[in-house]
Structure 1
């Protein structure tokens, strides 16, 4: 993970490792299209921020049911596992809040790749990280 200059809250090595471990678990579930397990790592209602095909900003809140339905549709069927090669930059706002910027290459089992850039807001609850906000361009037409 890349780190920003020392400003504001400085995370410990253990805090950095805990965010890294959270993403490793989330990516593993994503790779296998385990949508329910992905949802287990979220706080609902989940905030989504995006843009739509008209170029306007869009936002919504999804409950678990909407998240599972949309992610099942977007991630497709059982066409084999996905792989992710990601570089993440965490910006800790406190010991319990982190915004994580991600540049990722997703590769399908068939070898097709897609470049992704997104950000997630994670909060710590009961000592465990959960994502509360997803920010990514191109999802706006799916937000309702």
Structure 2
């Protein structure tokens, strides 16, 4: 991961390591299509910001059930594991808040797809959890 120039809060080595570890665990759960575990790593209601097929900005809040239903539809169940190769740029707003920009290649069943998205994560009781997902193309699911 790379950092933006020094402004505001400067994360410690431990801040960066804990965020990296969170993403490694989340990517592993996603790769195994362990949607229940993915949901365990979120704060609900989960905020979503996206756009739809017509190019209109959209936002919504999902509860856990909606998250699980949508992710099950998107990721499917069973099949080969999904792999992710990601470059992340975290911007720490404080020791307990970070906005993370990600460029990723997702490969499933031999097909690769480029992804660009951002997440807002919160640290609660010493653990990171994502609270907002921002990515184009989800709007028709909102």
- TM class by shorter chain equals over 0.9
Q: For structure 2, list consecutive stretches of 5 or more residues without a partner in the other structure.
A: none
TM-score if structure 1 supplies the norm length?
A: 0.97
Q: Which residue of 2 aligns with 1:38?
A: 38
Q: Which portions of structure 1, spanning 4 or more consecutive aligned residues, are displaced by more than 4 angstroms?
A: none
Q: For structure 1, list consecutive stretches of 5 or more residues without a partner in the other structure.
A: none
- Determine whether 1:77 maps to 2:77: yes
Q: Which residue of 2 aligns with 1:89?
A: 89
Q: Which residue of 2 aligns with 1:138?
A: 137
Superposed CA RMSD in Å reads 0.5
Shift of 1:77: 2.4
SS in 1 for 2:50: strand
2: CA distance, partners of 1:40 / 1:134:
15
SS in 2 for 1:54: coil
TM-score if structure 2 supplies the norm length?
A: 0.99
Q: Which residue of 2 aligns with 1:54?
A: 54
Shift of 1:73: 0.2
Tell me the number of residue pairs that the alignment of Structure 1 and Structure 2 aligns.
142
Deviations 1:36-88 (A, max 9, x none): 00000000000000000111100000000000000000011212100000000
